[in-house]
Amino acid sequence: MPQTSEDFLTITPLGGLGEIGLNCQLWETPRGVVMVDCGLMFPDDSHLGVDVVIPSLDSVLAVRERFLGVVLTHGHEDHIGALPWLIPHLRGVRVYGSTFTLALVEHKLKERGLLDHAALIPVTADTVLALGDLHFRFFPVCHSIPDGFALGVQSPVGAILHTGDFKIDPEPLFDSGTDMRLFKDFAGERGVRLLLSDSTNVEREGHTLSEREVGEELGKVFADAPGRIVITLFSSHIHRIQQVFDLANQYGRSVIISGKSLANNIEKACELGLLHVPSAFFNAYHAVPDLPDKKLVLLVTGAQGEPLSALARMVQGEHRQLTIKRGDTVVMSSRMIPGNARAITRLINDMYRLGAEVYHEKLRGIHASGHACREELRAMIEAVRPKLFVPIHGEYRHLIMHARLAQECGVPPECAIILENGEALTLLPSGIRREERVPVEYTLVDGKGVGDVGTLVLKERHILGGEGMVLVVLVRDMESGDVLHGPQMISKGFVFHQHFDYLLEDAKCLVLDQLEENRNAKPERLGEGIRVSLRRFFRRILDRDPVIVPIITDV
């Protein structure tokens, strides 16, 4: 590929660096801009009421005239989940990915009436995709979802490898796994110019547990369980689901599934020939067979303790068809995502109270991560011998440790580069340049509102949750300023009326004082005076700071 003095590649991470989730990057060359992945992140405890977190799309909208398309590595939510919020701004955008990845994207877009606004174009391991002066090749990798790809990219400034999410399983179950020869051949004798590599499991020594070992452990559970087996897992882990189906057939058990995402993913995988359901297969939404407990397997959503999931509703007695009961063997075949530990632990305790036996990854080898451990990450670095190394997909400590691992493998310290979201790196024909940081504040999605919940709204929600609210209702005569109704004090989450009635009566006196001092003031000015006076009073008496909402009506 010919080079000129204007050749460059600028990679701008919009998410996924310094955090788990929200994976999204912009790759810009003289001939256009490509987005690699477009993921979301699920809210943490600080995001009260927020449904999902998506990347800031301002940087994308600024280059919409030069936008060439979106290339997806695989179908997990943290890599495709933000597409429904991107596509309305880029109608007709081309989205490239594996068949299964695009099947999941198609379902998302169809639910929101956006399917006609994007062109979904499947790629395979044989595809060479030219977008501007970037030429993408797709290398199959082993991960916890089918049809995952690493990206080998020929650019105007050299060969780039983006690993996507991967692990190296020497004996993969149902596909080709991660073939390191493909990466070595792509790197050639000179190695790649830049390696961007998954950092999630860099803290774990050795190699990831293989899926075959997980299958063997699940087989022991099936052999020993005296009653029903209840299994919860990530609904996109099609290979694990197939293992459960195969074991159910082997042990003569019928399978009942419950959970919308699980049912959808099973349907899509079956349509594509990636999954084969057992002969005795039921969806709890439609029918639950009347069979002995030892003949049943329940496959349900809720691996992370989600309050509205099938498993959580079964535990709380709120599921219409199913429940957890004494004698059940519950298998939580997934890892505990940081931030969900409390919800999962509470769910496990509740299941033990109901008489179930619960297994999770700390007790038995019933889950294998989809991310490479330290020795596998080392193998990837040594296979492609990068001149430059940028760790991606991980919290900040993961990025630091992965950069140090790259240095152990021969990458010079100055060439192991730590980027954070918004910090763009430009590769030139002979050198690199760190660009000025671009704003990448998250966009919070709450119901149908996108971006209308920000720091101030979250702060008020925290105050409401921690301190409560006091409503002050009064009606004035517009002419005289006399009080026609009130002041009425309504406490919501602040104090119990019967115990603190005297306090609210004292607060009324302060409101009346403000009315006297601001007799002819407009409602806005009077309301501010009431707010300041009551906040000062409640802080002094109770050391609490509720939200004060004056509701003043002039008639």
Catalytic residue among 165, 198, 328, 446: 198
Which is it for the CA torsion 418, 423, 427, 428, positive or negative? negative
12, 28 Cβ separation under 8 angstroms: yes
Is residue 196 within a helix (H) or strand (E), and if so which, with residue range? Answer: strand 194-198
- Residue 521 structure tokens: 């003031």
| Helix, strand, coil tally for the chain in percent (to 5) | 35, 25, 40
Euclidean distance between CA atoms 142 and 148, whole angstroms:
7
Strands 388-392 and 296-300, by their bridges, are unpaired
One-letter amino acid identity for 398?
A: H
> Which residue shows structure tokens 């003949």?
295
User: Would you give the DSSP letter of residue 41?
Assistant: B
Task: Give the CA dihedral 515, 516, 517, 521, nearest 10 degrees.
Answer: 50
Euclidean distance between CA atoms 78 and 125, whole angstroms:
22
296, 253 Cβ separation under 8 angstroms: yes
Q: How far is CA 353 from CA 257, 311, 347, in A?
A: 23, 15, 10
Q: Which residues contact 497 (CB under 8 A, 6 or more apart)?
A: 491, 504
Catalytic residue among 371, 393, 398, 402: 371
Before 487, cis peptide (omega within 30)? yes
Q: What is the largest CA-CA distance in the chain?
A: 91
Q: Is 371 labeled as catalytic in the residue annotation?
A: yes
Q: How far is CA 179 from CA 212, 215, 364, 436, 457, in A?
A: 18, 22, 29, 38, 49
Give, to the nearest 10 degrees, the angle between helix 396-408 and helix 374-384.
50
Residues designated as active site:
198, 371
